[in-house]
Each structure stands twice: as C-alpha cells, then as structure tokens.
Amino acid sequence: MTERMVIVGGDAAGMSAASQARRIRNPDELEIVAFERGHFTSYSACGIPYWVGGRVEGPDGLIARSPEEHRRRGIDLRMRTEVTELDPGRQRVRIVEREHGEQARWVDYDHLVLATGARPVRPRLPGIDAEGVYGVQTLDDGQALIDALESGEHGRDGTRRAVVVGAGYIGVEMAEALVERGYRVTVVDRGPQPMSTLDPDMGALVYEAMCGMGIETVRGAAVTGILTDEAGRARGVSTGDAEYPADVVVLGLGVRPETELARRAGLPLGPSGGLLTDLAMRVRGQENIWAGGDCVEVLNLVSGRTQHVALGTHANKHGQVIGTNVAGDPEGAATFPGVVGTAVSKVCDLEIARTGLLERQARAVGLQFETVLIESTTRAGYYPGTRPMHVKMLAERRSGRLLGAQIVGRENAGKRVDIAAVALHAGMTVEQMTALDLGYAPPFSPVWDPILVAARKAAAAVREARGG
Amino acid sequence: MTERMVIVGGDAAGMSAASQARRIRNPDELEIVAFERGHFTSYSACGIPYWVGGRVEGPDGLIARSPEEHRRRGIDLRMRTEVTELDPGRQRVRIVEREHGEQARWVDYDHLVLATGARPVRPRLPGIDAEGVYGVQTLDDGQALIDALESGEHGRDGTRRAVVVGAGYIGVEMAEALVERGYRVTVVDRGPQPMSTLDPDMGALVYEAMCGMGIETVRGAAVTGILTDEAGRARGVSTGDAEYPADVVVLGLGVRPETELARRAGLPLGPSGGLLTDLAMRVRGQENIWAGGDCVEVLNLVSGRTQHVALGTHANKHGQVIGTNVAGDPEGAATFPGVVGTAVSKVCDLEIARTGLLERQARAVGLQFETVLIESTTRAGYYPGTRPMHVKMLAERRSGRLLGAQIVGRENAGKRVDIAAVALHAGMTVEQMTALDLGYAPPFSPVWDPILVAARKAAAAVREARGG
C-alpha cells in the first residue's frame, strides 16, 4: 500500500526530508507531497545579505533547486499552497491554494513533516510598517530592499544613509552589504556590545573593528520608533534620546520559530517557542509527526538545554534524518544528537565565530569555569598576509572540559572554530586539546595554532584554579 | 642543591624545553645549559621555502628568538658548540667549542635533553657534492641557494632553469619558491605521483594542478646522477633515461632523524632511526635522559606504530612536555600522547593536506576499510571566491571509525583537515561526524561542509559494505 508523506514548508528541512525519503522509497511505496506557501523553494536565506551587497547574483543564484527539479525527482511540490490547520487526530492537514481560488480542502497523511521555518522579529513600534522599512528573511524581502537601494534616492547632502536595527549576525552582515552599496551605515542595538552571541569582551572587539570600517555602531540604544516623512515613508529611527536619519531602515533582529500551526494543534513547544522533538526528529509524544529546521528547538550538547538555532546547515541535517526515518531505512533510525552552538559570520574583513557556551550561558546551567583570552595570528608571524585573531576559551573548573570558544579576527580566523566544535562534540578537556595534531605550515598557521595557544592558557588557568 | 639540565641542540624542541623548565624553576634550583653546533638557534626551517621564494625576509625573519634573548631568560646557550659524545653511565657529555680552539671537554648533567633534530636525505649519487646542488634544511643552506638564484646566471636561451629532486612537502614548496623567482621548474620524483604522503589518486590531483601551474613534474624517475660541466658545476640531473638541464639543483628529499650520538651511546632507536621515548618524552629505559623534536619517533594514535614526523609544531610540544617534566612540575607530569599524522602544505594556490592513515598505511597495520572521494567547494557555491576541493576519507569497515582524510583543493581548503584530525584524536566514527556542528555561513562553507559531505558518503559506504 502506498503511504503518503506530507511536508509543510518547502525550504531546506522539508525538501531535504523529501529528497532523502525518495532516495530510499520509490513512488509506489511512498507518495511525497510538499506544500510551500511562498513563491520560492530550497533557497539560501543566509545568502540574502550577499545578494543585497551585490556580491551574489540573485534571486536565482540563491535557489538550490527549483520546483521543477523537485518534481522531476518524484516529489509533488505545490507552491503557493498554505497549510492553515493541522488535525493530528484524523491525520490530515487543511490547505488553501492561494493561486487557485483560495479554496480550502483537507489532505490526509500517513507521515507529517513540519518544516515551517522561522519568522523575523518585527517589534511593534510606531512606523514599523512604513514604506522604507525592510526585513531580510525571504527572497521577496531581499528583492524589495535591492529595488529601494537601486532607486537612487539620496539624502539631502547627497549621502545615502541606512540604519540597521540589531547588531547580531544578520545585522552585521546587512551592515557590510549596505557599506558595499555605498551607504553610510548606522547599526543601532540595545545591547552593550554588538554580537550578543559573543561575550561582551569579545563583542567589544567587534565594536572597535566596526568603527574602524566607518560603520557607526550605537550600543545600549533601543529603537522606540521609526521616523517617517509627510508621505509616511521611513526617514530614520528614534531611540528616544536620539534620532538617526536614514533613506532605508533594515530590520536585522533575528528570527523566531514559526510554530503557530503547531501551537494550535497542541504540539509541544519549548521555551523559545520551537517544536520539541526526540533524537530521531519525531515530535515528542507523536508517532508520525516529524519536525525539523528553523521551527524546532534542538538540544545543546554542552548546556543540556534545548535552544532555537536557525541555520541552514542544521535544517539540512534534520531533513536528512527525517527523510531516512519516514522512509524506514532498514539500516536503522538516523538521529540528530544535537548542536554545540557553532556559528560563524563576517562583517567586511572581520571574522566572528563562536561555539559552545558564553559565560552567561554557562552560569545559567550551573557550570563553574575559567576563561582565557589570547591574541595570536592566522599564519606564521613572518608569513605575508598573517592577520591578528583573538580567541576566548571557557573551561570547566573542576573537570577542565572545554565549554566554549569565541573568535574575533581577520581573514582565515573564523573557521578555526571548527576545531573547538569537534572538541566539544568529543567532550575533550583543554589539557587534551593542547596535544591536538593540527595542520601546521607557515602559510596556514603559527607553529602553535591559536586554538592550541588558547587551550594551553586555559589548561594552565584550570590547574591554577584547582591548586589555589 | 642546584641541578644541571644539559640540552643538545638549540632549536625548537631544545629551546622550548629550556624555556618551559625556566618558567617553573629559577637558576638557583636548575642550571640550564644548551649546546648548539650551528650558527643559529630557534629558527623556522619550515619557513625557508618562503624566504627562498622572496615572500619572507630572511634569515632574521625566520629566527624566533636570538641567543641573547635566551640568555636574558637565564638559559646558558653556547653556540657553535658541538656535543661529540654522550656518556650516560657517568652522566656527562663531551663537547667541542668550534670557535674556541676546538678543545674538547666533558660537561656533567643531572638531566639530559636530546634535541639533535634531523638531517636532510642526500643520496650518494655521482656529482651530489658539486657546486650548484643545494639543500634547504638550515639557514646557511637557504642563504647559499638565494645567493645562487640572485647571481643571475642564465641558461643558454636566457631561461633560468631549476630541477627539484623529490616531490614531497619540501619539494613542492621549493618548486613554488623557484617559480616565484622566475625559474622554469622541473620536479623529478621516483614515485608514481607527487606527494607520496597522499594516496596515489589524490597525488594525481596534485600532479594535474602542478602541470597547470607550468611546473614540469616527472614521475617514476629516480635521479641517477648530477650532470656537471667542465668546471665541475651542476648543470642538471640524469635519470638514466633522460637528462634535465638546470642552473640550480635543489634537493627536496625530506629528512631523517639525527641520532648518531644516541646510537653510539646505545640508546633505543625505532625503525626510522628515531629515538624511542615514553609518553613523558623520557628516552625508554633511561631515568634522566629526554628526547624530543625531529630526532624522535612518535606514536601514531591511529596505526598504533611509532613513526618519524619532522614538524616544528610537534617539536615545540615535545619541548614543553620535557621542560615541564625536567622541572618536576608539582601539577604532575606532562605527556605527549602521540600524533594522528596531520600535515598541510601548498604549492602556489593549491592546498594539500592529510591526517590519519593512507590506504597503504591502513593495510600495513591490518585494518580493513572503505574509501570515498568527493568534490565540493570551499564556500557556498554562489559566493564569490568559492574554490573546488577534493576530500578523500577512509573509515574502518567494521566499526565505521574514521581512519584518515586527505584534501587537495584551492584557497581555504587545507586547514579543514583539522576537523578530521580532532575527530581522529576523539576516535569518532564517520556516522558521528555527519552530525558535527561546524561553522556555516556562505563566505565560509557550503551548507554541507565538504568534510560533512565526505563523512556522509563514508558512512553510507560503511553501511553498504556491512549490509552486503
């Protein structure tokens, strides 16, 4: 008997699940239907800043696979079709075909995959819906912003100005994009430092570097409203204390899980509002409902808590796991054990990376730890193109176990975070890390890789703390 | 009572040991005397190719610390002083001061550190000692080669030609250096592919890339003699079948442990001729003799065998361990658990890296394994500057444990080997590696990092092999 797999959301997690299930089961065994309410499928939202900045051709360049390609692989992908209700009791979902008369109907499923993604944070501020205020979550968002940037409207002095609200990953990436478009950019953030995904001392390094790039960064300033002109068009932002004029205002405040459907269906949500699943990516307490991608919370293997991490790389892994498990791979169930909290980003030539826990996150779960902060270089000191990099490391006081690492540096600094990420997966102590056999040659690293330098200092700090 | 630590060899391992011991013990407790037979101390031999190529200022730029700096830190470093005999029974070494009348005398020790380094392989070929044949092991070697390159002698047609003998790390790095000096370069190697530190299929990728750079690479051709002119000066090499003219001939054949003193003193040597130590870097069977750096064999944690690996990064680690242990750190003995066989190199913009075991190495220790080879890119496919990279992975058939990884790619490919290196230290399976939380953003990686792509394919190969 043919079973039916219904997928809600046609982006990374959903379509990876579809593709993987199709690799294992043919259409006679498993019918695969995917509903996507938007105009695009399988696109790289994380590529939007680079499209806006003019480095990447878009929107087509950001689309990994077209609807037609999915259909050719035996996946019945329905675009512009919104799922408006889940009915787990009767194993069906209600759909509305937006381009076919808005008619609603129910579709039965044997296996349901929720891959509804995330929605951008959009604070309820006066003027937030004014023309000239742009999000950067969807390809439609990106196109609207690019159209505005290319419309050639200038400020009174001929300078084009942009305000970015939020100095997290998306905020700093958008700051870079707007600098590349020739805008004078002000980033407004309510935190004490940009990049609240870093500890404040590391965020301060980002702040200094952004100042050096000519990006004005306003810290500790919550936006209280969008300034508009007589035509109702955004002309800047206000923080109560000050006003920052702008020709465009970009919202870069991050995203939240899009789980309204799941909530209404009574499915379990975590503290961040993301769906809770087991390690096989099955929604907790459900036999045949699966969830993955930006709409779920995942286990942080270092903190032992679930958290929301919106990253395409996780979404693709979730999709693989779900597809394998829905298809019932005879090799056994696949699992997604969790994350260690790795992220990497850049603003101009500054690279910013982290993995594991920040100080406040470690404290919040009851860990006692030592921290060290070192400065080193990306290559041998004498090799041309060597650039500075800072590494911060957290290690548990009692066990010496690595708890986290943060990197702020220039070219070739960021991806070194992977060394610490693998060490976190493996539960290594910083003392063990001092013996890691990492690739060394002068064009690639100093004779002591910066990660080794940090690990040595962290190991010494742990020994000293225990001895004292 | 003041003890005396005597160090034979004033380069990375020896001087790291001295510095570390001095950090823990003051001169009243521990006298530290180091003997170096050459003109230089604490220099980066691995930087010589970049100095020869003109990218790095030398020789001073390659010297990490001068004799005076060491002396200021309370280390009695004696340059141009050769140790000619070890006498473990009476705890003394015989020295000859080369610049003070060549007089010999005995020096007593409480702790002896052997850090005698390595010597370049120099085959006994007709003409090998001719003028115009250069090694690249010491700073003196480097200066002699640079003087020759800058002397402006040209071949008959105005083209300057160089032959590099050997296509391992030092050979390909020297090929790059000579290309940068404007030479037409021929690399002659007796192996079927360049880079015998890679499997032949990966070496073939290096061969193709070197051809694309205009470097002639002659494979499967053993040099049988150096061609000389009537003045006895080298004018090329002969392989029996063919002759390759050259204005300079560079020997890039790698190095062997310099352990003649140790052999004569009856200290234990391994199959590669390197000193054998315990995990604390104490020479096996000796209470107060330590050894580290290029003169020792180290345990390969994947193969379970000792091997010789001449790399400054290991030498520095050994020195740290020895210095800690000679000083008797109350925190407990330091250890060097072993290597996983990581190495990274480049020739022009080609990056070459490996870790773990090659196929032949895995077979030699009785492992059965699956191999996969994938092609991916260094950044998101749509991001500017993305470059191709190949990853080969070996996994044990029965356990799925990672056994090795090899990378051949362009900019930003090589250092990714560290991910696999840490996974090897941790004993991860390739299935476990598929879940690694690696840094992802379009400028840094495709959504599936190439290492993850290889791990997925390797995991599938292992499942299939076990199922079949």
Residue of B46, B211, B295, B348 with catalytic role:
B46
| C-alpha span between B387 and B414 (Å, rounded) | 12
Which residues pair with residue B42 across a beta bridge?
A: none
Average pLDDT over residues A77-99: 96
Which residues of chain A does B342 touch, with a Cβ-Cβ cutoff of 8 Å?
Answer: 437-440
**Interchain CB distance below 8 Å, A344 and B421:** no
Task: Determine whether A211 is an active site residue.
Answer: no
**Interchain CB distance below 8 Å, B439 and A445:** no
What pLDDT band is residue A153 in, cutting at 50, 70 and 90? low
Radius of gyration of chain B (CA): 24
Instruction: Give the helix/strand (H/E) hosting A381.
Output: none
**Interchain CB distance below 8 Å, B441 and A416:** no
Is B359 within the bounds of a domain? Answer: yes
Q: What pLDDT is attached to residue B155? A: 57
Is B67 within the bounds of a domain? Answer: yes
Cα of A219 to nearest chain B Cα, Å: 25
What pLDDT band is residue B443 in, cutting at 50, 70 and 90? very high
Q: From the list A380, A415, A436, which residue is nearest B439 (CB)?
A: A415
Instruction: Give the helix/strand (H/E) hosting B184.
Output: strand B184-188
Average pLDDT over residues B232-244: 96
Q: From the list B353, B432, B439, which residue is nearest A417 (CB)?
A: B439
Q: What pLDDT is attached to residue A154? A: 58
Give the number of other CB atoms < 10 A from CB of residue A72: 10
Cα of B138 to nearest chain A Cα, Å: 16
Q: What pLDDT is attached to residue B1? A: 82
CATH number, residue A227: 3.50.50.60
Q: What pLDDT is attached to residue B151? A: 85
**Strand extents, DSSP E, A286-336:** 289-291, 298-299, 306-307
Looking at the 3D structure of chain B, how many domains does it have?
Answer: 3
Is A111 within the bounds of a domain? Answer: yes
Last residue of a domain, one of A298, A326, A354: A326
DSSP letter string over B215-255?
-EEE-S----EEEE-TTSBEEEEE-SS-EEE-SEEEE---E
Asked if A285 and A291 count as a contact pair (C-beta separation under 8 A), the reply is no
Does one domain contain both A191 and A282? no
Q: Which residues of A59-70 are buried (b: 16+ CB within 10 A; e: fewer)?
A: bebbbbbebebb
Report the candidate in A248, A246, A236 with the shortest Cα–Cα distance to residue A141.
A248
Residue B414: exposed, middle, or buried by beta-carbon count in 10 A (0-12, 13-18, 19+)? buried
**Interchain CB distance below 8 Å, B343 and A439:** yes
- Helix, strand counts (H, E) of chain A: 12, 25
Q: What pLDDT is attached to residue A468? A: 58
Does one domain contain both B354 and B463? yes
On the question of pLDDT at A200 being above 90, the answer is yes
On the question of pLDDT at A155 being above 60, the answer is no
Cα-based distances in Å from B238 to A115, B163, B165, B168, B379: 66, 11, 11, 19, 44
Give A350's DSSP letter.
E
Which residues of chain B does A345 touch, with a Cβ-Cβ cutoff of 8 Å?
Answer: 441
Q: From the list A341, A355, A437, which residue is nearest B340 (CB)?
A: A437
* Residue A234 identity (one-letter amino acid): A
Q: What pLDDT is attached to residue A467? A: 80
Last residue of a domain, one of A224, A251, A278: A251
Which residues of chain B does A198 touch, with a Cβ-Cβ cutoff of 8 Å?
Answer: none
Q: Note the pLDDT tens digit of each residue in A36-58.
A: 999 999 999 999 999 999 999 98
Q: According to the 3-state scheme, what is the secondary structure of B88-147?
A: HHHCEEEEEECCCCCCEEEEECCEEEECCCEEECCCCCCCCCCECEECCCCHHHHHHHHH
Q: What pLDDT is attached to residue B156? A: 60
Q: What angle do CA B202, B448, A274 make, to 5 degrees?
A: 160
Does one domain contain both A411 and A449? yes
Asked if B403 and B360 count as a contact pair (C-beta separation under 8 A), the reply is no
Q: How many interchain CB pairs under 8 A, A with B? A: 211
| C-alpha span between A257 and A116 (Å, rounded) | 8
What pLDDT band is residue A441 in, cutting at 50, 70 and 90? very high
DSSP letter string over B337-396?
--B---EEEEETTEEEEEEE--HHHHHHTT--EEEEEEEEESS-TTSTT--EEEEEEEEE
Last residue of a domain, one of A233, A251, A269: A251
**Interchain CB distance below 8 Å, A439 and B47:** no
Does one domain contain both B193 and B266? no
Average pLDDT over residues B391-402: 98
Q: What pLDDT is attached to residue A152? A: 66
| C-alpha span between A309 and A424 (Å, rounded) | 17
Report the candidate in A322, A401, A414 with the shortest Cα–Cα distance to residue A12.
A322
On the question of pLDDT at B422 being above 90, the answer is yes
Cα of A78 to nearest chain B Cα, Å: 24
Q: Which residue has the tokens 């500075």?
A: A388
| C-alpha span between B281 and B283 (Å, rounded) | 6
* Chain B: residue whose CA lies nearest to A336: B435
For residue B72, the Cα-to-chain-centroid distance in whole angstroms is 30
Does one domain contain both A185 and A207? yes
Report the candidate in B282, B279, B324, B326 with the shortest Cα–Cα distance to residue B306.
B279
What pLDDT band is residue A219 in, cutting at 50, 70 and 90? very high
Is A308 within the bounds of a domain? Answer: yes
Residue A154: exposed, middle, or buried by beta-carbon count in 10 A (0-12, 13-18, 19+)? exposed
Average pLDDT over residues A422-441: 98
On the question of pLDDT at A125 being above 80, the answer is yes
Asked if B354 and B404 count as a contact pair (C-beta separation under 8 A), the reply is yes
On the question of pLDDT at A116 being above 80, the answer is yes
Is A270 within the bounds of a domain? Answer: yes
| C-alpha span between B173 and B169 (Å, rounded) | 6
Average pLDDT over residues A113-131: 95
Cα-based distances in Å from A281 to A109, A195, B62: 17, 30, 53
Does one domain contain both B437 and B353? yes
Q: Note the pLDDT tens digit of each residue in A281-308.
A: 999 999 999 999 999 999 999 999 999 9
Q: Is the dihedral of CA B121, B126, B129, B133 positive or negative?
A: negative
Q: From the list A169, A439, A442, which residue is nearest B417 (CB)?
A: A439
Residue B105: exposed, middle, or buried by beta-carbon count in 10 A (0-12, 13-18, 19+)? exposed
* Residue A229 identity (one-letter amino acid): D
Does one domain contain both B295 and B187? no
Q: What pLDDT is attached to residue B326? A: 98
Q: Note the pLDDT tens digit of each residue in B297-322.
A: 999 999 999 999 999 999 999 999 99
Is B332 within the bounds of a domain? Answer: no
Return the structure tokens found at A317: 């892994």
Return the structure tokens found at A302: 């270092």
Which residue, among A379, A387, A418, A434, would best test binding to B if mutated, counting the most B CBs under 10 Å from its CB?
A418
Q: What pLDDT is attached to residue B153? A: 61
Q: Note the pLDDT tens digit of each residue in A339-386.
A: 999 999 999 999 999 999 999 999 999 999 999 999 999 999 999 999
Return the structure tokens found at A280: 């096989």
**Interchain CB distance below 8 Å, B428 and A423:** no
Tell me which of A10-24, A256-270, B22-36, B149-163 is least confident: B149-163
Does one domain contain both A106 and A13? yes
Q: From the list B313, B432, B467, which residue is nearest A440 (CB)?
A: B313
Q: From the list A55, A344, A440, which residue is nearest B312 (CB)?
A: A440
Q: Is the dihedral of CA A137, A140, A146, A151 positive or negative?
A: negative
Report the candidate in A463, A449, A451 with the shortest Cα–Cα distance to residue A424.
A451
Give A192's DSSP letter.
S
At A247 the three-state DSSP class reads coil
Average pLDDT over residues B169-176: 95
**Interchain CB distance below 8 Å, B440 and A311:** yes
Average pLDDT over residues A453-463: 97
Does one domain contain both B303 and B383? no
Instruction: Give the helix/strand (H/E) hosting A6.
Output: strand A3-8
Does one domain contain both A360 and A421? yes
Asked if B11 and B62 count as a contact pair (C-beta separation under 8 A), the reply is no
Average pLDDT over residues A401-427: 98
Q: What pLDDT is attached to residue A151? A: 85
**Interchain CB distance below 8 Å, A344 and B463:** no
What pLDDT band is residue A320 in, cutting at 50, 70 and 90? very high
Report the candidate in A382, A375, A433, A452 with the shortest Cα–Cα distance to residue B16.
A452
Q: Note the pLDDT tens digit of each residue in B63-107.
A: 999 999 999 999 999 999 999 999 999 999 999 999 878 889 999
Mean pLDDT score of chain B: 95
Which residues of chain B does A341 touch, with a Cβ-Cβ cutoff of 8 Å?
Answer: 437
**Interchain CB distance below 8 Å, A435 and B337:** yes
**Strand extents, DSSP E, A44-153:** 76-79, 81-87, 92-97, 104-108, 111-114, 118-120, 133-134
Does one domain contain both B195 and B288? no
Is A124 within the bounds of a domain? Answer: no
* Residue B304 identity (one-letter amino acid): G
Which residue, among B437, B438, B444, would best test binding to A if mutated, counting the most A CBs under 10 Å from its CB?
B437
Return the structure tokens found at B243: 């002759």
> What range defines the domain where residue A171 resides?
133-251
Does one domain contain both B11 and B113? yes
What pLDDT band is residue A210 in, cutting at 50, 70 and 90? very high
Q: What pLDDT is attached to residue A437? A: 98
Residue A338: exposed, middle, or buried by beta-carbon count in 10 A (0-12, 13-18, 19+)? buried
| C-alpha span between A31 and A18 (Å, rounded) | 10
Is B191 within the bounds of a domain? Answer: yes
